[in-house]
A and B are shown apart, each in its own frame.
Chain A
């Protein structure tokens, strides 16, 4: 069961456009349109949560918990959002998102042929991401 710790990963640019979507064998695989729609919905919900917050300085939803999955979201100061959908109670997801952010800065932003705010098609990023996710699963298995 530990193998399915992470269901999917999304990266949204600062205007709410989906720039990366990766599915890790979840039951409800989405087609492109659905994933795009979902990403922009999440972008809006994140924004709404900031406005709903009774305390000032709220930066939006970090964690959404449901009966059978958790959604962890990390927003960089530049407005790019990274979120993973994973098993309930999966640990270390904040760390994982931070590592993914670092990979994004290394293998996406530093690629001179990547255009900012556009969908990510960078093989090195895919490769390194796969390793990190794999490592994370192994770490979970070894607990």
Chain B
């Protein structure tokens, strides 16, 4: 038996977590997106709410937003899920962003979605890359109607990644490049590392 602290493989990780029926999950997500569309009426607003594009903390400190609102769906999920991932996968601190991306693609996606992503299209500095998903359980049964062409249906996922990485001191920007719902041949998410917030003490007073 490997020592208990060795990182688990994606399959082992997937096998070790509780799961629900995939259709229940897919349909629940669909219902959330539909409800947001009904509530907000604007496709663009729904995209923002799923991902929460603006900086939640800045808005929060300015009293503009309430972190508890469903507005921060993906981001909020990410800030919570990251700990579960770290606790159950036994991964240790990554040496660089490349390793982080690999861990997300091979272990993170597998643990929570049951699929793995491919990491490609690194830029020269090694600060941005693409996650390509061939298979995406969020979109089974989904066909985008003409009225919702601008909808980023899977914006929840980008929010989750952004929220999770922010909790381990990485500020990122995550955007969708390809989307099968819009006729592309795969799902591709672009993740760009904006800055790494050092964890050094003492924190500055204005932090």
Interface residues of A (CB under 8 A from B): 47-48, 50-51, 76-80, 95, 98, 101-102, 104-106, 109-110, 115-116
Known A-B contacts A51-B201, A78-B167; A109 and B83 likewise in contact (beta carbons under 8 Å): yes
Known interface pairs A77-B168, A78-B167, A78-B168. Does A104 touch B83 (Cβ–Cβ under 8 Å)? yes
Contact indicator B82/A78 (Cβ below 8 Å): yes
A-B contact pairs, 13 of them (CB 8 A): A76-B83, A77-B93, A78-B168, A95-B4, A104-B87, A105-B83, A105-B84, A105-B87, A105-B88, A109-B81, A109-B83, A109-B84, A115-B67
Q: Which residues of B contact A95 (CB under 8 A)?
A: 4
Given contacts A76-B87, A79-B199, contact A116 B93 (CB under 8 A): no
Q: How far is the CA of A116 from the CA of B4 in the complex (A)?
A: 28
A59 to B, closest residue via Cβ: B93
Q: Judge if B68 is at the interface, Cβ distance under 8 Å.
A: yes
Point out the residues of chain B lying under 8 angstroms from A47, CB to CB. 201-202
How would residues 193 to 207 of chain B score, 1 for a CB under 8 Å from any chain A CB and 0 otherwise? 000000101100000
Q: Which of B81, B87, B202 has the most CB of A within 10 A?
A: B87
Main secondary structure of the interface of A (DSSP, over half): helix
**CB-nearest residue of chain A relative to B82?**
A78
Known contacts A102-B88, A105-B88, A115-B68; A80/B83 CB under 8 A: yes
Q: Total contacts A to B, CB within 8 angstroms?
A: 44
Residues of B within 8 A of A79 (CB): 199
**Chain B 76-91 interface 0/1 with A at a Cβ cutoff of 8 Å (1 = within):** 0001111110111000
Distance of B103 from chain A, by nearest CB (Å): 11
Q: Which residues of the other chain, A, contact B81 by a CB distance below 8 angstroms? A: 109
A26 to B58, CA, bound (A): 43
Q: Which of A50, A51, A98, A109 contacts B80 (CB 8 A)?
A: A109
Evaluate contact between A106 and B84: CB separation under 8 angstroms.
Answer: yes
Instruction: Output the nearest chain A residue to B84 by Cβ-Cβ distance.
Output: A105
Chain B min CB distance to A127 (Å): 17
**Given A109-B80, A109-B81, 12 new contacts (CB under 8 A):** A48-B201, A51-B201, A76-B83, A77-B93, A78-B82, A79-B199, A80-B83, A102-B84, A104-B87, A105-B80, A109-B83, A110-B80
Counting chain B CB atoms within 10 Å of each CB, the highest count among A51, A77, A116 belongs to A77
Q: Tell me the bound Cα distance from A95 to B4 in angstroms.
A: 9
